[in-house]
Amino acid sequence: MSSPTREWLPTFETLLLTRKGRLLTITFNLPDTMNAVTATMHAELPEAIVFASNDPHSDVIVLTGAGKAFSAGGDMAHIQSHAANPSQFDEEVRQAKRIVFAILDMEKPLICRMNGHAVGLGATLALFCDVIFAADSARIGDPHVAIGLVAGDGGALIWPQRIGICLAKEFLLTGELLTAPRAKEIGLINHCMPLDELDAAVEAFCNRLLAGATDAIRWTKVLLNMELKRIATAMMDTGLAYEGITVRSADYAEGIASLREKRKPVFGGAARDLASHSNPEE
């Protein structure tokens, strides 16, 4: 087998990698489902990120989505399978950690081109990027709690680092989706503009980085990420463990059912679980 050429890039089922000069773009490539994260995408993401980190032919990485969305979060079939088989979620915990730490270990600048909505894991992936450029029509949020889950796969880690603990609690405890202009106003993202101006803005910023001192830029990012990695090391196992508990809860089953039936959820799983285990004679 011949060795890869300079132009060689790996191929994935759910991701598309392209290179322009020394700029490498990773695109979520399931536009028909708003780039919702399937089991396959979940497994491919850390592989693509690690490749980008080690790729000797690129210095700046862009993360974006095909079509109208950046990423709409978990694919419905995927999250329903967790409710039916929670042990499947346990198997994905390793991948969730790999995704977060692969991003934090990347020395190259990682730029988010948020062309549309970024929800759930999609929001987490966007927020772990170094600089975020968003279309003003996009919305961003982490509605884990809206389906009865703990935001344990990175949201509780990265939101407070961007906007502080008070605002992070407000938005993570409610699962509210923010418009891009509002996200820009509170410092959750860096830039917000009309969609037809997005490409030019991202390209100009990437070119500025590409023209800079590569080692100085990379190692400055390494220093900035040291605190994030410390926090991630302290939080990720606990966060994923809590999320694993809620995957098995009555509230999660209700959250999934409400999505499937297109209605508001009726939560109260903790109270129901407590009542089912109480002694009626007491």
Q: Is residue 277 part of a domain?
A: no
Q: Is residue 144 part of a domain?
A: yes
Please tell me the total count of domains within the chain.
Answer: 1
Q: Is residue 241 part of a domain?
A: yes
pLDDT of residue 226: 98
Q: Is residue 145 part of a domain?
A: yes
Q: What is the mean pLDDT of residues 112-120?
A: 98
Q: Is residue 276 part of a domain?
A: no
**Residue 252 to residues 62, 84, 89, 118, Cα–Cα distance (Å):** 34, 11, 13, 21
- Phi and psi at residue 95, to the nearest 5°: -65, -40
Token pair 């992936």 is at which residue?
125
Contact partners, residue 167, CB within 8 Å, separation at least 6:
159, 186
* pLDDT of 75 over the 80 cut: no
**Percent of the chain scored above 70 by pLDDT?**
92
* pLDDT of 114 over the 90 cut: yes
Q: Is residue 195 part of a domain?
A: yes
Domain span at 161: 15-261
CATH code of 125's domain: 3.90.226.10
Spatial separation of the C-alpha atoms in residues 246 and 84, rounded to whole Å: 13
**Residue 43 to residues 14, 96, 196, 209, Cα–Cα distance (Å):** 10, 9, 32, 30
Summarize pLDDT for 259-279 with one digit per residue, the tens.
889 999 999 865 455 455 445
Spatial separation of the C-alpha atoms in residues 62 and 60, rounded to whole Å: 7
| pLDDT-derived band at 84, boundaries 50, 70, 90 | confident
Q: Is residue 274 part of a domain?
A: no
* pLDDT of 30 over the 60 cut: yes
Q: Is residue 269 part of a domain?
A: no
Residue 119: which of 182, 197, 34, 30 has the closest Cα? 34
Q: Which two tokens stand for residue 230?
A: 């410390």
Summarize pLDDT for 171-219 with one digit per residue, the tens.
999 999 999 999 999 999 999 999 999 999 999 999 999 999 999 999 9
